[in-house]
């Protein structure tokens, strides 16, 4: 267990209030929440018949897909840097 102080940040995602507790700054938590909220609203506008649970899962899948693509891109760039050094 760490002694790092925990921050409590209140955010709204898709019309629901949440209190997020963690080590990240409040501004970071608000940014993350706003990205999730924006993605949920974007997907809802394309699929208005989805219930909230399906919308949340679809949002998660989309965000993780973006994350995996970014990890792949980081790997590509790291490999390019290694080749340039050799």
Per-residue pLDDT reduced to its tens digit, 33-78: 999 999 999 999 999 999 999 999 999 999 999 999 999 999 999 9
Residue pair 56/40 in contact by the 8 Å Cβ criterion: yes
pTM score of the predicted model: 0.85
Residue 1 reports pLDDT greater than 70 = no
Question: DSSP strand E in 3-83: where?
Answer: 7-13, 16-22
Average pLDDT (15-21) is 98
**Position with higher pLDDT, 2 vs 12:** 12
Closest among 4, 10, 36, 9 to 23, alpha carbons compared: 4
Rounded to whole angstroms, the Cα distance separating 61 from 58 reads 5
Domain layout of the chain by residue ranges: 7-85
């Amino acid at each position: 267990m760490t002694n790092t102080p925990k921050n409590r940040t209140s955010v709204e995602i898709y019309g629901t209030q949440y209190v997020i507790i963690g080590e990240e700054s409040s501004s970071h938590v608000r940014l993350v929440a706003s990205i999730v909220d924006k993605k949920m609203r974007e997907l809802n506008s394309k699929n208005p018949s989805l219930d909230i649970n399906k919308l949340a899962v679809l949002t998660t899948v989309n965000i993780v897909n973006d994350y995996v693509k970014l990890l792949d891109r980081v790997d590509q760039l790291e490999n390019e840097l290694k080749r340039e050094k050799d």
